[in-house]
A and B are shown apart, each in its own frame.
Chain A
């Protein structure tokens, strides 16, 4: 009777599911071959660096109104100039970008969590729960999200802050992930390895979490990125209409003030360009990441092996 193999230093057999460390390296190798994903992540990293270094190295409390002289053009002291209320626009960017991203992430995470839960319940168990969920999702997708958000924003007594806006956006963000993930679950439950797991005594929840969920990672990630992007876009829409938290320097609120105070007409281009550029970078990076994840999820799209 053979003895087990010699143990590798630092541990015996490798664990059944590879520990995170051993998965990161192949992932990084893959990222190198996937230019979309690589550039998307790179852009986000640049933004993050901008915010982090800025927070450390710059007097960011100047994002508040009346911190400086008004309507100054960009200069060494004020790299992006100042606006009509005396805000240092550079500071506004450093403060505003993470806030905008936060709204998106809150809405994205919540939307994904709710959507995935519903997708699994409906897609795996089928029957009447699925019929109900399917109907609710289909109806939910047809109602214009912005309309709901405007109604919510208008009717909230205290007004929205960043976090409550994230929650409100989650209310409309769950429908799309639910639909996408559900169709993947429908496919996955017919896989042979799921059948074998059932015959190996694995329970329903076990199948969902241990067998199906790990293989859904690409779809979950892609849905997440999509939700985040959609949420940020919706939040920008709300804020630009003036329904956002006006005391918080998010990108959308900054745009609102640009519109309100006609920055273009008075020639204050330095006030308009940074938020728009930041938005562009955010959306481009999210799009690139989504495209990259799409290729990961669907190996047939891979152009380079």
Chain B
């Protein structure tokens, strides 16, 4: 994806074969201290059936982006600009009612801490059916109970849960099981895009593996695309096809998973990869110096320049690099890769 089209240009419909096209998306928070630009002009395309991971640390904007994709941004946050295209429809332009219909049907969310997003006073099957019934077009009658129960049973089976779980309450389930229920709800209408926001954050490593493998199976079964949001590079290496690296609200690098790990282009990505502990051999701990930027007071030019080991004075602190095609299929937001510097 190259830089966004100039303002005022007619909205483009999505590239053929793309499940989702995000164009210059901006999500800002209005706080008493000023405007926080949580997501500041992010653009990328999600291909059909692809596993794209968005990785970043706290303050990178990745969770805000996930919520914005679902149009679930809560005040004082707001979508301040940009487009989210699925098919010919721009999700940003839809009103609440239309978006509600699209949610779960076209694009579904497995939220962070999904364990806590289940209704504690409803049984599992009621919660799953809730979403299905809500999407039945006005005028149509809901399918008969028996058919619904069968559907719930089959959904539970697809996420690896036994049928008897349907009549249980959330508090009777373990963390892993609750997460699977959340996944079952998210696939109940066969969405084309699943947004998984840190789906395994509070889970043990063995359960985490099970959940990620289940998610992979679900994705293949539906031929859906998955956007995996996270900060665990190991998990992402195991799961994703492509990785987008976010820093301070911007997408700084995007490329295939092997390339990102073997040959990271952006200095931040490189530092991040170097800081990862391995099981190969013991070595010194290498962190990233400095602090993540205060989102209320972002530096001029490139947001990463205060911490960048390849900082070029006069360039990086003045001008913000756009998203550049550094190599085929790889984009970077860094002055090192402009024509003059290649």
Contacts and interface: CB of A to CB of B under 8 A. Distances in A.
B76 interface: yes
B33 to A, nearest CB: 9
Interface in A204-218: none
Interface in A269-305: 304-305
Contacts of B31: 305
B32 interface: yes
Contacts of B32: 29, 33, 305
A233 to B, nearest CB: 35
Interface string B105-141: 0000000000000000000000000000000000000
A169 B31 CA distance: 44
Contacts of A305: 29-32, 76
Interface string B26-38: 0001111000000
5 contacts: A304-B76, A305-B29, A305-B31, A305-B32, A305-B76
A304 B29 CA distance: 12
Interface in A226-270: none
Interface centre among A29, A33, A304 (most CB of B within 10 A): A304
Nearest to A30: B32
A64 B159 CA distance: 82
A29 B31 CA distance: 13
Nearest to A303: B75
Could you say which interface size class chain B belongs to? under 10
Interface centre among A29, A33, A304, A305 (most CB of B within 10 A): A305
Interface string B5-30: 00000000000000000000000011
B-side interface mostly: strand
Nearest to A305: B76
A33 B76 CA distance: 14
Nearest to A32: B32
Contacts of B76: 304-305
A33 B33 CA distance: 13
Interface in B28-51: 29-32
Interface string A152-172: 000000000000000000000
Contacts of B29: 305
Given A305-B30, A305-B76, 6 more contacts: A29-B32, A33-B32, A304-B76, A305-B29, A305-B31, A305-B32
Contacts of B30: 305
A145 B257 CA distance: 71
B255 to A, nearest CB: 37
Interface string A12-23: 000000000000
Nearest to B29: A305
Closest CB pairs A-B (n = 8)? A305-B76, A305-B31, A305-B32, A33-B32, A29-B32, A304-B76, A305-B30, A305-B29
A304 B30 CA distance: 10
Contacts of A29: 32
B37 to A, nearest CB: 16
Interface string B225-266: 000000000000000000000000000000000000000000
A168 to B, nearest CB: 44
Contacts of A304: 76
A145 B31 CA distance: 46
A22 B76 CA distance: 27
Contacts of A33: 32
A33 to B, nearest CB: 7
Interface centre among B30, B32, B76 (most CB of A within 10 A): B32
A5 to B, nearest CB: 18
A305 B29 CA distance: 10
A33 B29 CA distance: 17
A304 B31 CA distance: 9
A207 to B, nearest CB: 29
A33 B31 CA distance: 12
A222 to B, nearest CB: 23
Nearest to B31: A305
A33 B32 CA distance: 9
Nearest to B33: A305
Interface in A8-43: 29, 33
Interface string A129-149: 000000000000000000000
